[in-house]
Amino acid sequence: MKKRFTEEQIIRVLKEAEAEAKTVELSRRHGISGATFYNWKASNPYLPKHQ
Protein backbone atom coordinates (compact mmCIF):
# COMPACT_ATOMS: atom_id res chain seq x y z
CA MET A 1 0.00 0.00 0.00
CA LYS A 2 1.40 3.38 -1.01
CA LYS A 3 1.26 6.08 1.62
CA ARG A 4 0.01 9.45 0.50
CA PHE A 5 2.19 11.46 2.88
CA THR A 6 5.84 10.94 3.78
CA GLU A 7 6.98 11.07 7.38
CA GLU A 8 8.57 14.47 6.72
CA GLN A 9 5.29 15.85 5.39
CA ILE A 10 3.39 14.55 8.41
CA ILE A 11 5.88 16.20 10.78
CA ARG A 12 5.60 19.47 8.85
CA VAL A 13 1.79 19.42 9.16
CA LEU A 14 1.99 18.68 12.90
CA LYS A 15 4.48 21.49 13.49
CA GLU A 16 2.27 23.84 11.52
CA ALA A 17 -0.62 22.81 13.77
CA GLU A 18 1.37 23.83 16.85
CA ALA A 19 1.73 27.32 15.41
CA GLU A 20 -1.96 27.82 14.64
CA ALA A 21 -5.11 26.88 16.51
CA LYS A 22 -7.51 25.95 13.69
CA THR A 23 -7.17 22.20 13.20
CA VAL A 24 -10.19 22.08 10.89
CA GLU A 25 -8.71 24.65 8.49
CA LEU A 26 -5.31 22.97 8.58
CA SER A 27 -6.84 19.57 7.81
CA ARG A 28 -8.86 20.98 4.95
CA ARG A 29 -5.85 22.79 3.46
CA HIS A 30 -3.74 19.61 3.44
CA GLY A 31 -6.57 17.33 2.32
CA ILE A 32 -6.74 15.15 5.43
CA SER A 33 -9.56 14.36 7.82
CA GLY A 34 -9.63 15.49 11.41
CA ALA A 35 -9.35 11.85 12.46
CA THR A 36 -6.19 11.41 10.39
CA PHE A 37 -4.69 14.51 11.97
CA TYR A 38 -5.38 13.29 15.49
CA ASN A 39 -4.03 9.81 14.66
CA TRP A 40 -0.82 11.38 13.35
CA LYS A 41 -0.56 13.55 16.44
CA ALA A 42 -1.09 10.60 18.81
CA SER A 43 1.39 8.32 17.06
CA ASN A 44 4.20 10.76 16.30
CA PRO A 45 7.26 10.26 18.55
CA TYR A 46 8.97 13.45 17.32
CA LEU A 47 6.61 15.87 19.02
CA PRO A 48 6.17 16.27 22.77
CA LYS A 49 2.94 14.92 24.19
CA HIS A 50 0.76 17.53 25.88
CA GLN A 51 -1.14 16.38 28.94
CA atoms within 13 A on the CB side of 2: 1
* Residue 33: count of CB within 10 angstroms of its CB: 10
pLDDT of residue 45: 73
pLDDT of residue 35: 93
Backbone phi and psi for residue 45, each to the nearest 5 degrees, phi listed first? -80, -10
Backbone phi and psi for residue 32, each to the nearest 5 degrees, phi listed first? -125, 160
Distance from chain centroid for Cα 15: 8
pLDDT of residue 2: 66
For residue range 1-51, what is the model confidence (pLDDT) as tens digits? Answer: 667 899 899 999 998 988 886 888 999 999 999 999 999 989 887 666 654
Instruction: Work out whether the CA dihedral 31, 7, 19, 48 comes out positive or negative.
Output: positive
Q: What is the pTM of this model?
A: 0.74
pLDDT of residue 31: 93
